Amino acid sequence: MVEHARMHAKHRGHEAMHAEMVLILIATLVVPQLLLVQWKQRHPRSYNMVTLFQMWVVPVYFTVKLHWWRFLVIWILFSAVTAFVTFRATRKPLVQTTPRLVYKWFLLIYKISYATGIIGYMAVMFTLFGLNLLFKIKPEDAMDFGISLLFYGLYYGVLERDFAEMCADYMASTIGFYSESGMPTKHLSDSVCAVCGQQIFVDVSEEGIIENTYRLSCNHVFHEFCIRGWCIVGKKQTCPYCKEKVDLKRMFSNPWERPHVMYGQLLDWLRYLVAWQPVIIGLVQGINYILGLE
């Protein structure tokens, strides 16, 4: 009660200043939102690149500041392998095995982040329901464990999808069957997969990949692994050649696979919170500091 009275006494007469701070907060939250939406619509490529850089760098600042060394070690390992994969994806001419390497790596990270996020979420829910007491685990320890896994899963899931989308664009443009704007530079043969540029059907005497195929509603045929990587990992929902919209419900008819699609949509929404929310909060604090508001 004494502390409560002291707090009221300290802030008595500051109502106008508090109202001004609230108005600044609202204005700073609304205006950047509108600017970000316009930027994303008018210049999506630069917006995605800056967002990716923000996603990659901003958490590291807090990691070093708060001494989260375990996260930093994992971040360095992820960055090293991803840098190598990205380097391979942006080379010209493109090595035949590169598209499959890229999609395998990012699909692996996607699945690991998905499993990690689910386990973290379950740990948080078990703690809220008190089930941690059955294993004699302290609530704070169980909650820290769950939140940490949830953060790891969501962060690397978002980061992986952004890198994968960038690599998918580079590789598809290099192969020539896909153009982000305009017509492709090559004509697609029925026997070639537009995602990896390799033969779809291979004779026994020839070198190549023998695997299942998938035909889209536009009648273009791809390796099943390639088109799934293009849609889930590369965040593309159109045909790699003619850009007709892909029916994801038809592609992922198995109910066990549909959560992967929903998880990907969740990650796309969370990328804003990780990349831009700290910047906006810092902007609010900077304006308050310049105006002398506390």
- Its domain, for residue 171, covers 13-186+259-291
Note the pLDDT tens digit of each residue in 72-118.
Answer: 999 999 999 999 999 998 888 888 788 888 888 988 888 898 889 88
* Same domain, yes or no: 85 and 120: yes
Q: Is residue 1 part of a domain?
A: no
- What is the value of pTM for the model shown? 0.70
Confirm whether 5 is domain-assigned.
no
Distance CA 111, CA 259 (A): 11
Same-domain status, 240 and 263: no
- In the numeric block, the tokens 């929903």 are attached to 262
Q: Identify the pLDDT of residue 77.
A: 94
248 and 135 in one domain?
Answer: no
Q: What is the pLDDT of residue 81?
A: 94
139 and 264 assigned to the same domain: yes
- For the chain, how many structural domains are there in total? 2
CATH number at residue 194: 3.30.40.10
Cα angle, residue 152 at apex, residues 148 and 155 outer, rounded to 5° = 130
Tallying the residues shown for the chain, one arrives at 294
150-184 pLDDT, tens digit per residue, is 889 888 888 888 888 888 888 877 877 666 665 56
Per the domain annotation, does 4 fall within a domain? no
Residue 179 falls within a domain, yes or no? Answer: yes
Task: Give the model's pLDDT for residue 55.
Answer: 79
Q: Look up residue 218 and give its DSSP letter.
A: T
Low-confidence residues of the chain, pLDDT below 50? 13, 204, 255-256
User: How many angstroms separate the CA atoms of 234 and 107, rounded?
Assistant: 9
- Count CA atoms closer than 13 A to 255's CA, side-chain side: 0
Domain shared by 95 and 147, yes or no:
yes
If asked whether residues 125 and 217 sit together in one domain, one would say: no
Give domain status of residue 136, yes or no: yes
Query: Are residue 178 and residue 249 in the same domain, yes or no?
Result: no
The pLDDT value given to residue 256: 45
Q: Does residue 26 form part of some domain?
A: yes
Task: Indicate whether 234 and 283 sit together in one domain.
Answer: no
Residues 82 and 221 in one domain: no
Please indicate, yes or no, whether residues 134 and 274 belong to a single structural domain of this protein: yes
Task: Specify if 7 maps to a domain.
Answer: no
**C-beta atoms surrounding 98 within 10 Å:** 23
Q: How many other C-beta atoms are found inside a 10 Å radius of the C-beta of residue 124?
A: 17
Tell whether 131 is covered by a domain: yes
Are 145 and 269 in the same domain? yes
Residue 223, beta-bridge partner list? 213
Domain match, 220 and 272 both? no
